[in-house]
Structure 1
């Protein structure tokens, strides 16, 4: 059960590429627009239920506005983020963390090279923040590298050996089939 300093664990880092504010039509922007998802740590370290879940903070920064949202990210949601990155490569819109409770992240293609990023916390706070970003070329690949670092820092250590029955990876009965938890 290895932990890494939380300030190093960005799962998502979407930012304007350098020089975006100097582009035509961007007068009045003060720069620094970004959407970041940072892993704060394991949700319930040492507990079979919740050990592999990650407490995260979503931060949206745009022109003097800063919003923070709390999110719980599971292994299934990490796999969904990986699939979402493939869709983003094809310039398709994606929704992530679109569960019943907690914030939702939507990314939609915008003007050439740009994306609309919306974080909505309708259930908890009723707050929705939307920013237009012009990320650097190849930004989905950067997100894949961040996802890999998070998975390396917080490896899955719990398996579901039967519906609703969990065990530490490597300690389950070798005769019991395992699934990813």
Structure 2
């Protein structure tokens, strides 16, 4: 954890549903998985809530997230961490639509834990237009708080 506390890498949320990936620490030197970030994934909806802890992010996972953001900005569906090592996060664009005079994007987010068969949660989240840029800034904050290359 940083002095400020955990750092959010992903924060897809509206007033009803959310999926958050939060970096909570880094592995210690000399331990298996050294050079990894420890994260948790929290999914919440009006129907159900779930938390996956001890998700290990490698530098490649952060690079893959940067690439996923570019695909999302281009309107493409992405699957992030789909290698079976971690829970997979799949994001599909479902908008835009108008709500109370404001243009919002909707994304369907599915979190699937490959280690436990048929364990998945899927939520629809309404987001503002600048959500991809906001997530680029979040990725930059994670890199600044947890500089894996300097380890």
Q: Given the two structures, how large is their TM-score scaled by the length of structure 1? A: 0.72
Note the residue ranges of structure 1 that are not aligned, 5 or more in a row: 17-30, 159-167, 169-181
Which of the numbers 133, 136, 156 marks the counterpart of 2:125?
A: 133
Greater strand proportion? 2
Residue number in structure 2 paired with 1:42: 26
- 2:6 and 2:24 in contact (8 A); partners too: no
Q: How far 1:62 moved relative to its partner?
A: 0.5
Note the residue ranges of structure 2 that are not aligned, 5 or more in a row: 97-104
SS at match of 1:108: strand
Residue number in structure 2 paired with 1:13: 11
Indicate yes or no: 2:74 matched with 1:90. yes
Indicate yes or no: 2:109 matched with 1:111. no
Indicate yes or no: 2:43 matched with 1:51. no
Residue number in structure 1 paired with 2:137: 145
What are the superposed Cα offsets for residues 64-106 of structure 1, whole Å, 9 maximum, x if unpaired? 4111113111000100000000000011000001112321000
- 1:60 and 1:66 in contact (8 A); partners too: yes
Residue number in structure 1 paired with 2:45: 62
- 1:103 and 1:120 in contact (8 A); partners too: yes
Deviates more, 1:3-12 or 1:113-122: 3-12
What is the alpha-carbon distance in structure 2 between the residues aligned to residue 8 and residue 42 of structure 1?
Answer: 11
Query: How well do the aligned residues superpose, as a CA RMSD in angstroms?
Result: 1.9
- 1:40 and 1:57 in contact (8 A); partners too: yes
SS at match of 1:151: helix
What is the alpha-carbon distance in structure 2 between the residues aligned to residue 42 and residue 35 of structure 1?
Answer: 21
Larger radius of gyration: 1
State the number of aligned residues. 142
- 1:6 and 1:40 in contact (8 A); partners too: no
